[in-house]
Amino acid sequence: MPAERSEPPGRLRPPSLGLLLAEARGVFELNASVLLSPLLARAPKGDGHPVWVLPGLLASDLSTALLRRYLTRLGYQSHAWGFGRNTGAVTRMRPLLRRRLAEIHGESGRKVSLVGWSLGGIYARDLALHMPEMVRSVLTMGSPFSGDITATNARRIYEVLSGETLQNANVEDMKALSGDLPVPTTSIWSRSDGIVNWRTCLVRPSDRAENIEVHLASHVGLAVNAAVLWAVADRLAQAEGEFRQFDRSGPFAIAYASPEKAQS
């Protein structure tokens, strides 16, 4: 694309200023989900297994309240992340997150599904890599874990708050996070994301890993967007140990790109 010609090979640019300013539409996505709640209630019901929802950078559990309430109504044990405002630092948060995952797993006696929004999705992937025996599945929403992770408009904020520099991130860590996970994995993202370059959200499709592109979704609205909520509910409803590719038919079919387009 012309916007990327001046970048060195392998480098990506953050989303444009226009896309960044358009993030304000997230409030409309929230309102639309409230209006469409009767349709959302038709999603497959849960089997009661625990789901841990992890927020994005600078966000708290308040940002995922609607999603968690929705999952609880569908029959899941929905858990808030419980660490206040997310100020980053993957390395610093690791021991805390692993301890909390072990607690949820121990209390329920069941594997835990991890739903991570943006930075929360990176936490989720890291947990699945190191504690797969406790993780049932991983769903990420607008999480920049693949390729050039510096292609985000939140980079400077992350580095200031966390004290970690993306440019100097551990190479082996980044290779592992961007690779295949040992559990079923779904990445939900949008080309109209104004915070992270959508290419950094792509997983390598396989018999237990998939990408779901949602048209016109904002980054800040991913946790409240009706089509995203439906997709999350559908993915979580799969039986433990099973995986099928997402069926894009249904009440929000128009919101999803075809699998082939999602890879181009």
DSSP for 101-139, written as a single string: HHHHHHHHSS-EEEEEETHHHHHHHHHHHH-GGGEEEEE
Q: Which run of H or E residues covers position 261? A: helix 259-262
Please report, to the nearest 10 degrees, the dihedral formed by the alpha carbons of residues 24, 25, 28, 33 taken in order.
-110
Q: CA 58, CA 185: separation in Å to the nearest integer?
A: 25
> Residue 138 CB: number of other CB atoms within 10 A?
28
Q: CA-CA distance, 202 to 47, in Å (whole number)?
A: 28
The residues, any chain, with a CB within 8 Å of residue 165's CB and separated by 6 or more, are 159
How far apart CA 47 and CA 17 sit, in angstroms, is 42
Mean per-residue pLDDT, 167-174: 66
Specify the range with the lowest mean pLDDT, choosing from 6-15, 143-152, 204-213. Answer: 6-15
Q: In angstroms, how far is CA 233 from the centroid of its own chain?
A: 13
Distant-in-sequence contacts of 208-212, Cβ < 8 A, 24+ apart: 208/183, 208/184, 208/243, 209/180, 209/181, 209/184, 209/185, 210/185, 210/186, 210/245, 210/246, 210/259, 211/186, 211/187, 211/259, 211/262, 211/263, 212/186, 212/187, 212/188, 212/246, 212/256, 212/262
Does residue 1 have a pLDDT over 70? no
Whether residue 161 has pLDDT greater than 70: yes
Mean pLDDT throughout 34-43? 97
pLDDT at residue number 262: 62
Segment 232-259 shows an average pLDDT of: 96
Tokens describing residue 6: 């001046």
Query: Is residue 8 scored above 70 in pLDDT?
Result: no
CB 238 within 8 A of CB 244: yes
Q: Residue 253: pLDDT band by 50, 70, 90 thresholds?
A: very high
Lookup: tokens for 258:
């075809």
Report pTM.
0.93
Which pLDDT band, with edges at 50, 70 and 90, does 235 fall under?
very high
- Report how far residue 112's alpha carbon sits from residue 224's, in angstroms, rounded to the nearest whole number: 22
Residue type, 248: R
* Residues β-bridged to residue 212: 188
**Contact between 140 and 195 (Cβ < 8 Å):** no
Tokens read off for 71:
């999952």
Average the pLDDT over 161-173 and give the result.
72
% of the chain residues with pLDDT over 90: 81
Residue 9 banded pLDDT, cuts 50, 70, 90: very low
Mind listing the pLDDT tens digit for each residue in 60-102? Answer: 999 999 999 999 999 999 999 999 999 988 888 999 999 999 9
